[in-house]
Amino acid sequence: MALTQLPSVGAHRGLTSETGQNNCFLNVIIQSLWHLASFREALLGCDPATVPAPGAPPADARVLTALRNIFRAFQQVRMRCAQHCTKNDMSEQRRGCLVKQ
């Protein structure tokens, strides 16, 4: 899986889905979670190693860590996109940016 680049600002649209990978379902879930502000803020502010219940499988922390890393990448894209649009005095609607507040 890779993040798809937007050529104009170097922003990402989401996970790519190569033929046969069927990542589109995962992409929908990740983007839906991203748009839940309280979930996004909680995940970005936590230490995934401390979140799973005692005795939980190590995979639980690995999944949270992977999701937090994706969210951090999305957050960086949001910041780059905002800087680009501010610098070029472009509104969100005019630029067609996929990274929204």
Tell me the domain boundaries of the chain: 3-95
Q: Is the pLDDT of residue 90 over 70?
A: no
- How much is the average pLDDT of 70-76? 90
The whole-number pLDDT of residue 80 equals 80
**Can you give the three-state secondary structure of the chain, one letter per residue?**
CCEEEECCCCEEEEECCCCCCCCHHHHHHHHHHHCCHHHHHHHHCCCHHHCCCCCCCHHHHHHHHHHHHHHHHHHHHHHHHHHHHHHCCCCHHHHCCCCCC
The whole-number pLDDT of residue 60 equals 87
Query: pLDDT, tens digit, for every residue of 42-67?
Result: 999 998 888 878 888 888 888 999 99
Query: pLDDT, tens digit, for every residue of 8-26?
Result: 444 445 667 778 777 788 8
